[in-house]
Amino acid sequence: MRLLLFDIDGTLVDTRGAGLAALLDAVEDVFEVGRETVPPLDLAGATDGGVVRSLLGALGRVDDAEIRGRYLECYLGHLKRRLHEEAFVGVRLPGVIELMEALVGVPGVKMGVLTGNVRVGAEHKLRRFELDHYFEDGAFGDDADDRNLLGPVALKRFEAQVGKRIPAEEVIIIGDTVKDVACAKAFGARCLAVATGVHGRTGLVESGAWVMLDDLQDTAKVMSLLTEPRVTI
């Protein structure tokens, strides 16, 4: 059994700012302040919950479930709209579709997402790029604010689905930031890092990623990395 957990932004797709635009649209609607008042947000590898927490802090607002719920609902509406705007120029990253097609149906391989996006936001993004049908489940930004807690959540969901334990050594996270690497390490999984996100190679090599690639374009190579049996040295 091999479980592959893909990050979304910077790994599978680049929404070219649609996510940030939607976050700021929702700030204007819910908090009634201009988007220019929001301090710069480092979204790479962040969870939506973590972003909301820092937004609320920066704006001096109370952080509670009611305001979080209202904000995220508003954000999701804007996200869907932004992703379908006529001027939208987001892209699927190089090699992604070829890799998905190669992986789908490989015996013993399960594919999920591990993302900071809340589940509905993840669905909007994956659907927009026609990638949603490749993934059965995963762990999302509404499961925890701390990305490092998401691995065990995904693992548990897939274990329930297959009806047996999946050892963490059989799990590979595919992600574009040092936070993906940390999140893999947090539960004993490996991380195949790709330099297709906003931070490029910055920090990824030193972070202790299992493998580091420029992108996912070399389907044969990525396939063998992701599906070969675990070699213990």
> Which positions touch Mg ion (CB under 5 A)?
7, 9-10, 176
d(CA 227, CA 229): 6
The residue (of 61 and 92) whose beta carbon lies closer to Mg ion is 92
Question: In this structure, what is the dihedral angle of CA atoms 82, 68, 118, 128, given to the nearest 10 degrees?
Answer: -10
The residue (of 7 and 145) whose beta carbon lies closer to Mg ion is 7
Nearest distance from C-beta of residue 107 to Mg ion, angstroms: 28
Nearest distance from C-beta of residue 86 to Mg ion, angstroms: 26
Contact predicate 172/210, CB 8 Å:
yes
The residue (of 7 and 142) whose beta carbon lies closer to Mg ion is 7
DSSP string, 74-97: HHHHHHHHHHT-TT---EEPTTHH
Which residue in 6, 20, 165, 160 sits closest to 79, CA to CA? 20
Nearest distance from C-beta of residue 42 to Mg ion, angstroms: 12
d(CA 119, CA 56): 21
Which residue in 82, 60, 56 sits closest to 70, CA to CA? 56
Q: Identity (one letter) of the amino acid at 3? A: L
- The SS3 assignment for 143 reads coil
Nearest distance from C-beta of residue 207 to Mg ion, angstroms: 13
Half-sphere exposure of 121 (CA within 13 A, CB side): 31
- The SS3 assignment for 4 reads strand
The residue (of 67 and 198) whose beta carbon lies closer to Mg ion is 198
The residue (of 10 and 152) whose beta carbon lies closer to Mg ion is 10
- The SS3 assignment for 120 reads helix
Nearest distance from C-beta of residue 43 to Mg ion, angstroms: 9
Q: Taking the chain, what is the end-to-end CA distance rounded to the nearest angstrom?
A: 20
Tell me whether strands 13-14 and 91-92 are parallel, antiparallel or unpaired.
Answer: antiparallel
The residue (of 10 and 141) whose beta carbon lies closer to Mg ion is 10
The residue (of 9 and 170) whose beta carbon lies closer to Mg ion is 9
Nearest distance from C-beta of residue 196 to Mg ion, angstroms: 9
Nearest distance from C-beta of residue 14 to Mg ion, angstroms: 10
